[in-house]
Chain A
Amino acid sequence: MKRFNIVGTDVPRTDAEAKARGTAIYTDDMKLPGMLYGKILRSPLPHALIRNIDISRAASLPGVKCVITGEDTPKIKYGNWRLFPETQDEYPLAVEKVRFIGDEVAAVAAIDNDTAEEALELIKVEYEELPGVFDVDSSILPAAPVIHDYCPSNISVNRKIKYGDIEKGFAEADYVREDTFTMQSVSHAYLEPCSALAQVDLDGRITLWTSTQVPYIIQCLLASTLNMRENDIRVIKPFVGGGFGGKMELRAWEFCAAFIAKKTGRPVKFTLSREEEFLTGRRRHPMKIRSRVGFKKDGTLVAKDLRIQLDGGAYNAMGPTATFLCGNFGAMLYRYPNYRFHGEHIYTNKPPASAMRGFGAPQSLYATEIQMNLAAEELGIDPIDIRLKNAQVSGDKIPDVATISSCGFIESIKAVADMSGWKEKRKNLKPGQGIGIGCYSFISGGVFNWFNTQYPFSAAEVRAFSDGTVHLLTMASDIGQGSDTVLKQILAEELGLNMGDIRITSADTSMTPQADLGSWGSRVTLMAGNAVIDAAKKIKERLFGALSARFNLNVIHEIECKNGRVQAVTRPDYGLTFGEAVALVQKANRGEPLVARGSYTPRGKGLVTPAFGFGAQVAEVEVDRQTGLVEVKQMWTAHDCGTVINPRSVEGQLAGSIQMGLGYALSEQFVMDGGKTLNTSFVDYKMPTAADMPPSQVVHVDTYEPEGPMGAKEAGEGLASPTAPAISDAVYHATGYRCMDLPVTPEKILEGMKKD
């Protein structure tokens, strides 16, 4: 393993002290002079035409400063898939039609929250209710109500992948099985409800502070929906209380804050309630997965035919990406010589599903992993062995996707089997006790430029000063995952400085270099990290040149930045402090500051990702055979995230994904009645608490990713996938109940359990 000074150490988070003291400012903490408070009126119906909206009573309520409906807006549709404008299907405020309960219909801004809420009740909307569809099967029937006129089939995205010869593959198989899986919808349940604050300056330019993962995307889409120039919009991301994929699109309140600020000349803030978040918020896609796989007798995979229907809800949101990716995830992890995928993104009259930690992988890999175990059992092979036989390794090619570079998958499986005492426990546990496995592979950022950015995927600017400090500017967005810290660590390592020598400004679209696609798809460490290194290397070149001249070094000398100095490697006495070296460069350029820009855009890396993370997880459970309640006793994880840049952060990501995976496996689900979400509080949306978390042991498999900054790749998002199949498999081992439709509820266990 390569040795580093700062990378690989438990540097405390850059922002931890401010958060510990309560001084970190989140969007809703901000207040500006003259600020108005905004609220949104939402559709109570899942599918209806808007016949009339009467805002007169609301507008005349004392204290109300502005009421808008879709008719007041420029009526420009938006969506993240800019490369394919036909997929942009959403208006900031509904125009003529509402498509789900919660669809935004009107907005109010008033002098305080109480008045704004009161005004909402005074807006009268006449609807003509239309029949709705609430599941994929009814939605694709020929006679089904059409949700978007442009899309009479209700299938908004069709994605097909094919390689090898699927028929031949199945013909060669000794054993073929087909299974159907369904998955529920779950919530991101980030703790900070969405909030946005807009201010307009005297020139009509807008500044928007917003709780987002994607400031650059917000900037662009806000500009287009307002009919303004991109650079007349400045988006600033303050501290963000978590996202997990749920804050990666332009949303109605962001538009409304900006639009009303422009109209009234006053700052406007919108903050959602938790009830709004649960009732109408984005969520993970429910899916229906049909998977047919063929094996040789010895357990070798020969073919897979995968068909996935995504219940997208009323708008595309990030559904197209999820549709693409779950096809790719279906072909990852194991070697499939012959593969076919057909994915359909289907509209229903429910709150839109979108990106959520794993982006299609938790669903797709649940099917993969459970099916692997079903096959292993029929073929009489241990689940560990069947995985080892088919595991992807470095150098494997996924057609049209990528060649796998670093890969610690086999090591992960072996490590986790070893740690958990798999062989012994899988044979010998008592009834009610069980052990199960789940594995994952995940992307380190996406390559496919669906947003059609005209800039590099990630960028960084480094400004070096003669006092020995540097200033790092990047649009990369820390939403709590710790990217500010990680990027500082990478820069400190590269320049031989301490964390305290670096100031960071991030995620401000007017101040940080263009551009960055945001925090999603586990892209930030690899892409923004590479951009930082690129900028740092340019700084170093300048410093090295100056040093070389200053000491008249032979051109063959290696020069390094180390321990706050710039020096010849073999003659450290030919060296200067970092600040002195910067001063030299600056003098040589007659005062011009030492600044460099770096960027990263994946090229020649296929269409999916520049690097893959891998891992395996084992869960041990105890099931109360009378109540069906599951207690997860222990989790073991071995994973390959390349170089670990901050071990505590990586372990925190792991524990966080176990929490989310545990909920996905056992207790979390949106309970729907048609288009209505019934559980809209944390009492009835059951995400695990501290007392529900199992003890956990982890091994980081030592690999080095050549494409990653200092060998690093994704950590923490891939881990959203293995927990549910591992727990589900353990429940099967404990009870004989095999769950094909998540979540694994006590009720289903009692129903499906083998009685003995």
Chain B
Amino acid sequence: MRLPKFEYFEPKTLEAALNLLTQNGNNAHLLAGGTDVLVKMRNGRLKPEAVIGLQGIEDLNGIHFDSGKGLAIGATAKLAEVASNPDVLKHYPALAFAAGVMANVQVRNMGTIAGNLCNAAPSAENAPPLMAMGAEVALANLQGDRRIALHQFFRGPGLTAMEHGEIMTAILVPFPVPKSGASYKRVSARCGVDIAAVCVSAWVALDGEVCKDVRIVLGAVAPTPMRAVGAESFMREQTWTQELIETAAAQAVQESKPISDVRASADYRKKMVAVLTLRALEQAYERAIKN
């Protein structure tokens, strides 16, 4: 289908964008890379009267890293830029990997992490590693700014904690603490043009052989990307053993709430939560001991 008819705005400043968004009310939709929004408009699932392109706002562009504050990914930074950024590759390899295997080359040249998060698909592939690493998102509105932890951001398929009139300006990831590591694992039917049927991210912080802290995030097995908090609390302060992570993986399965759809059955998804959680924990551990 062709795109529906709409007005288009390309503000140069965040303030102008916020004003446009407020003026146009519920009929306005933001556009970062367009790879999700245009598909939804073509399918008739989205019919905005005004589209506000964010690409012209310089402040939203770019990826900034410093070893104190950590990583800040601007809302219009492309997935390909994130995947190939030397600081991301060095300090946040799980994110670089997730951004670098998502969809395909062209989509990664256009799409953004912010767009992927705001689209809030249960399978949003950058959400698990970011949530695992304790990311926050920065939201701006005309009254000011606020930050919200990513794990509180998703409210349901296509639903987020963003209020009308808000724009996501950046994704903030803390600098990795010593002896911590994160990983991202997925299963999909093929190597390109694909979407994960299930994905799991893990982050662990070690103190010797003790698991000081851990986050396990499951994608595409619940209405939103979800933390397996039961599995996490089971692991905290425990000595790292094969049995520990196997039990945690089994616990993660219990917590997941997958459905059956065209990509996989609920049963298969549950099985994959077990396999991927284990693999994700193993890789996170490998990375943590080297860090």
Contact = CB atoms under 8 A, between A and B. Distances in A.
User: In the complex, A touching B, CB below 8 Å?
Assistant: yes
Nearest to A682: B193
B262 A691 contact: no
- Which applies to chain B's interface (DSSP): helix, strand, loop or mixed? loop
Contact of A689 (B193, B262, B264, B272): B193
Chain A CB within 10 Å, residue with most, of B43, B264, B271: B271
A56 B87 CA distance: 62
Given A684-B195, A690-B192, 4 more contacts: A117-B1, A686-B190, A689-B190, A689-B192
A236 to B, nearest CB: 27
A691 B194 CA distance: 12
29 contacts: A113-B2, A114-B2, A117-B1, A117-B2, A275-B1, A275-B43, A628-B268, A629-B187, A629-B189, A667-B189, A667-B190, A671-B262, A679-B262, A682-B193, A683-B193, A683-B194, A686-B194, A688-B190, A689-B191, A689-B192, A689-B194, A690-B191, A690-B192, A691-B192, A692-B192, A746-B189, A747-B264, A747-B265, A750-B268
Interface residues of B, number: 21
Contacts of A686: 189-190, 194
A570 interface: no
A678 interface: yes
Interface in A544-598: none
B222 interface: no
3 residue pairs, one from A and one from B, having the closest CB atoms: A689-B192, A691-B191, A747-B268
Contacts of A114: 2, 5
Contact of B195 (A626, A667, A671, A683): A683
A2 B198 CA distance: 56
Interface in B1-17: 1-2, 5
A238 to B, nearest CB: 23
Contacts of A23: none
A689 B191 CA distance: 7
B6 to A, nearest CB: 12
Interface in A619-667: 626-629, 666-667
Contacts of A667: 189-190
A264 interface: no
A217 to B, nearest CB: 30
Contact of B268 (A273, A671, A678, A746): A746
Given A629-B187, A692-B190, A750 B195 contact: no
Contacts of B195: 683-684
A275 B39 CA distance: 12
A629 B276 CA distance: 13
Chain A CB within 10 Å, residue with most, of B5, B265, B275: B275
A127 to B, nearest CB: 20
Contacts of B263: 684
Contacts of A671: 262
B192 A684 contact: no
Contacts of A679: 262
Interface of B: 1-2, 5, 43, 187, 189-195, 262-265, 267-268, 271-272, 275
Contacts of A629: 187, 189
A426 B27 CA distance: 63
B1 A273 contact: yes
Contacts, number: 54
Contacts of B1: 117, 273, 275
Chain B CB within 10 Å, residue with most, of A273, A627, A746: A627
A584 to B, nearest CB: 59
Contacts of B275: 626-627
A684 B193 CA distance: 9
Nearest to B3: A114
Contacts of A747: 264-265, 267-268
A678 B260 CA distance: 13
Contacts of B2: 113-114, 117
A627 B187 contact: yes
Contacts of B192: 689-692
A746 B190 CA distance: 12
Nearest to A631: B191
Contacts of A692: 190-192
- In which size bucket is the chain A interface? 20 to 34
Contacts of A688: 190
B280 to A, nearest CB: 13
Contact of B271 (A113, A117, A690, A750): A750
A627 B262 CA distance: 17
Chain B CB within 10 Å, residue with most, of A682, A690, A746: A746
Interface string A671-711: 10000001100111010111110000000000000000000
Nearest to A677: B262
A746 B267 CA distance: 12
Nearest to B187: A627
A117 B5 CA distance: 12
B3 to A, nearest CB: 9
A684 B194 CA distance: 8
Contacts of A117: 1-2
Contacts of B267: 747
Nearest to B278: A626
A117 B43 CA distance: 13
Chain B CB within 10 Å, residue with most, of A273, A666, A678, A686: A686
A667 B194 CA distance: 12
Contacts of B264: 747
Contacts of B43: 275
A628 B195 CA distance: 17
B260 to A, nearest CB: 10
Contacts of B271: 750
B257 to A, nearest CB: 18
B283 to A, nearest CB: 14
A243 B267 CA distance: 37
A690 B190 CA distance: 10
Interface in A233-282: 273, 275
Contacts of A684: 195, 262-263
B276 to A, nearest CB: 8
A633 to B, nearest CB: 14
A686 to B, nearest CB: 5
Nearest to B279: A626
Contacts of A691: 190-192
Interface string A723-735: 0000000000000
Contacts of B189: 629, 666-667, 686, 746
Interface in A361-376: none
Nearest to A120: B1
Contacts of A666: 189
A751 to B, nearest CB: 9
A678 B261 CA distance: 9
Nearest to A672: B262
B279 to A, nearest CB: 8
A628 B188 CA distance: 11
Chain B CB within 10 Å, residue with most, of A678, A679, A683: A683
A503 B191 CA distance: 42
Contacts of B272: 627
A689 B189 CA distance: 11
Contacts of A275: 1, 43
A538 B77 CA distance: 68
A502 to B, nearest CB: 39
Chain A CB within 10 Å, residue with most, of B190, B195, B267: B190
B34 to A, nearest CB: 16
A679 B192 CA distance: 17
B178 to A, nearest CB: 32
A117 B191 CA distance: 35
A628 B191 CA distance: 15
A626 B262 CA distance: 21
Contact of A678 (B190, B191, B262, B265): B262
Contacts of B265: 747
Nearest to B274: A626
A629 B43 CA distance: 31
Contacts of A628: 268
A547 to B, nearest CB: 59
B138 to A, nearest CB: 30
